[in-house]
Structure 1
């Protein structure tokens, strides 16, 4: 007789030294949160007023995220997936699903206003992503509750400009023909969309500042972002940049000269080399059109000209256009 799901979860949760991340999450769900995999409580749903209040606290963030949610949904909707955006506590704030699928996902509780934290639902894509602050995929019987084993959930965290976790981006599927390999493709897109939302929100959080971007070594989608004001003071840094430069882990960034971070010695090093390469790549992609390159980098043309001069990039290396 096959082992029941709830028995397998309980058995794997017994050891304090759980050897896998999944087993550690199951143990948290059972021991820390006091949940029973065979007896889930009723789904917690916020009232309309409570949901409106939650959305109101993050209205600017949600406005920035919506275009990316729409784009992600267009990519995954033909496969019958559901796109969700939550706050840092696991409350679903936004949903994208086809009309024909909305009822199915509502029956699962995958809709605006529901609580998908680990404390409420045990191991699941949203809750475990937020609990561990990392990208996760929870495929079918990896869920804690037996009732959720028909779901596959691909999630990525979104970090705010203050370095704190602000949201989770989720794509869920209830289709039995979605394999783990297929889910891996969706998970890659979820991670990309989460980083795009994170970067866009960082930019709007520092109006008037110029944003310097570079690529983190070994992490294709994890851009280092620094906000620099008119006095050349670094006034903001995203989580990747905070970690790379040993800055304050969370909260307000203490302003310091950008040169202290960017290494403005006679020979450019570190971040400045990466910034110079990023500017040159943008100019190359724009076929030398400085205005188009500035738009791609999210800065004004005058700002880009200043950066080109500062980085030793001539005004017309080859055939750069003034357009």
Structure 2
């Protein structure tokens, strides 16, 4: 079985056909990384000191992610699945599995400290998800290594507040009867959980900013903008950066949110959110604009200007 799988991988790559994205990953594994699909030793494991160092780099992020990992495991743990989160290098930093399944996952290398990068293990859920920066499922025989064809892996990337890939979320199954259809169902939950973690990390990175969710949906993640008190964009998720051409990296050149989201005769998402925020503040202050401005952290003159722009003059405020 393993010999046949390895021969299939090699013949497919050497045929030179364009093939699919899966074939492209097999080609990288064989030709770029020089891996042997019949190699027996499992994934290498980093030392405890190296694992601790990698965790320390993501300490705040891991704390935010942990409750979401717990929720995901509650959903899939009883179906013979483990939940893992890796860093951007594909090294497992957090893992959950049922006691009854733990020995199986440990034997497969699906355990804390294991290196599941594509460079080390060839085509696999974690490594290929990171390499291609997209959610995917690698089901049994789609793996590069013959020894990994016993598992099904559903993965999604997690991007940090700077838009760069920071981690990967994985659910792997040890069930021999796991079907591709069921794997697709789990994959949807994995992607949704990854988006939730990304959103939590983004909000935590901009605690004093107003977070705006743009109206369009993007499969690669939440489209969120962080806007300061002057309505300038100071942060954006990866999906937002791609949607609005904001570029990547830790710093964004401040730009008016209204310029990015566009303004027309109908209220934009920004204007609707701003109008609602102003009206709430004025209502809480009982119509006292000075008090409302203090609550919003802006000056009374700035509040007047925003009210005029948004047509909120007739509020009964004083």
1:157-190 Cα distance to aligned partner (Å, 9 max, x none): 1111111111110000111111000001000000
1:136 paired residue number: 136
CA spacing shift, 1:42–1:173, aligned 2, 3 Å? closer
Q: Shift of the alpha carbon at 1:74?
A: 0.3
SS in 2 for 1:223: coil
1:24-82 Cα distance to aligned partner (Å, 9 max, x none): 11110000000010124442111111100000000011011111100000000110100
Alignment of 1:208-219 (within 5 A): 208-217=208-217, 219=218
Q: Shift of the alpha carbon at 1:3?
A: 7.8
SS in 1 for 2:195: helix
1:218-238 Cα distance to aligned partner (Å, 9 max, x none): x47833101011222210011
CA spacing shift, 1:275–1:24, aligned 2, 3 Å? farther
Contact kept, 8 Å, 2:154 with 2:186, in 1: the verdict is: yes
Alignment of 1:24-43 (within 5 A): 24-43=24-43
1:276 paired residue among 272, 278, 285: 272
Alignment of 1:307-318 (within 5 A): none
For residues 81 and 97 of structure 1, the distance between their equivalents in structure 2, rounded to whole angstroms, comes to 7
CA spacing shift, 1:20–1:78, aligned 2, 3 Å? same
For residues 61 and 313 of structure 1, the distance between their equivalents in structure 2, rounded to whole angstroms, comes to 40
2:225 paired residue number: 226
Contact kept, 8 Å, 2:13 with 2:26, in 1: the verdict is: yes
For residues 274 and 184 of structure 2, the distance between their equivalents in structure 1, rounded to whole angstroms, comes to 29
Q: Bigger CA drift: 115-124 or 38-47?
A: 38-47
**Higher-Rg member (1/2):** 2
1:294 paired residue number: none
Q: Shift of the alpha carbon at 1:276?
A: 3.1
Q: Shift of the alpha carbon at 1:251?
A: 3.3
CA spacing shift, 1:137–1:246, aligned 2, 3 Å? same
The alignment of Structure 1 onto Structure 2 pairs a total of residues equal to 293
SS in 1 for 2:224: strand
1:44 paired residue number: 44
Q: Return 5+ residue gaps in structure 1 as ranges.
A: 281-289, 292-301, 317-323
1:250 paired residue number: 249
1:103 paired residue number: 103
For residues 126 and 42 of structure 1, the distance between their equivalents in structure 2, rounded to whole angstroms, comes to 15
For residues 314 and 177 of structure 1, the distance between their equivalents in structure 2, rounded to whole angstroms, comes to 65
CA spacing shift, 1:88–1:278, aligned 2, 3 Å? farther
CA spacing shift, 1:263–1:185, aligned 2, 3 Å? same
Q: Shift of the alpha carbon at 1:252?
A: 1.6
Q: Shift of the alpha carbon at 1:313?
A: 8.7
Q: Shift of the alpha carbon at 1:14?
A: 1.3
Contact kept, 8 Å, 2:117 with 2:126, in 1: the verdict is: yes
| RMSD across aligned positions (CA) | 3.0
CA spacing shift, 1:311–1:237, aligned 2, 3 Å? farther
1:254-287 Cα distance to aligned partner (Å, 9 max, x none): 112223223355x246xx247738998xxxxxxx
SS in 1 for 2:84: strand
For residues 261 and 35 of structure 1, the distance between their equivalents in structure 2, rounded to whole angstroms, comes to 46
Q: Shift of the alpha carbon at 1:250?
A: 3.3
For residues 71 and 315 of structure 1, the distance between their equivalents in structure 2, rounded to whole angstroms, comes to 47
- Could you state the TM-score of these two structures normalised by the residue count of structure 2? 0.83
CA spacing shift, 1:105–1:2, aligned 2, 3 Å? closer
1:200-220 Cα distance to aligned partner (Å, 9 max, x none): 100001121110112424x47
